[in-house]
Structure 1
């Protein structure tokens, strides 16, 4: 599914994969959340409820530009740098252009909408 991320007013195209968690996130759209930095690698924020992670892999190797979900905390994650192998991390999709990852490092607010 094609989506649009708006980071502090700047739009970036992204695509969700076909996982149960990504479909569950899509059901919440449009969604606006605040973001905070985590480990100088990612921005995190919390959706209004936990996502369905049925069939998700046990771990992921996130790349800059990935949109993911960390199951223990129930938070969305936007990686602006490549991350380490992470148990309980479910990649939901990614920015269509890795050039947009620079904006992720300082973003304070995220809006996710279905692309028209």
Structure 2
């Protein structure tokens, strides 16, 4: 009898894993391109399509907490004969990002709200909040995709978004860039 129970449990476990994987693939495969874009944008913003209208948001953001410890650490973004200075926040993700500098990355526009780029290394999310409500000038990391995001317009709460720092001034310099552009990122002495 013991062997029969073990076989049943094993069969249930394998079936459960198979159905979960199939359901995930089915959901991805059954969306139209318009739905895919909406889901893609919602997931980028950390909100599923079903949750986007629910009004539920978590308020576990890390805006200026801990900014004092690293408040004097700044980075410089150089692009298109322009320079922008970012004051870095004190969190593990920011520290991990700083360890990669200097970097030269290509940024592109995303949804008329932010400029994004994909560094080759994923950053640590240890101790990170579940998400933030980004505002213009926020320099962030979107953990689910592994990309950096520079917000030049305000946006809604986004799960998985981690604030790395805040642009001191000049965020408007990003608004009129309509094509991909190269940014050199380095620490300011």
Scaled by the length of structure 2, what TM-score is found?
0.58
> How do 1:1-116 and structure 2 match up within 5 A?
1-97=73-169, 100-105=170-175, 106=177, 108-116=181-189
Residues 42 and 79, structure 1, Cα contact 8 Å, conserved in 2: yes
Q: Which structure has the highest strand share of the two?
A: 1
Greater CA drift, 12-21 or 1-10: 1-10
Q: Which structure has the highest helix share of the two?
A: 2
Runs of 5+ consecutive residues of structure 1 not aligned to the other structure = none
Larger Rg: 2
Question: Distance in 1 between the 2:188 and 2:159 partners?
Answer: 30
Question: Distance in 2 between the 1:8 and 1:51 partners?
Answer: 26
Question: Distance in 2 between the 1:57 and 1:51 partners?
Answer: 14
- For residues 43-92 of structure 1, give each alpha carbon's deviation from its aligned partner in whole angstroms, at most 9, with x where no partner exists: 00011110001000001011101100000110000001011110000010
Question: Distance in 2 between the 1:54 and 1:27 partners?
Answer: 15
Q: Which has the higher contact order (CA 8 A, sep 6+)?
A: 1
**TM-superposed deviation, 1:14:** 1.2
CA root-mean-square deviation: 1.1
Runs of 5+ consecutive residues of structure 2 not aligned to the other structure = 1-72
Q: Name segments (4+ residues, structure 1) moved above 6 Å.
A: none
SS at match of 1:102: helix
Aligned length: 114
Scaled by the length of structure 1, what TM-score is found?
0.93
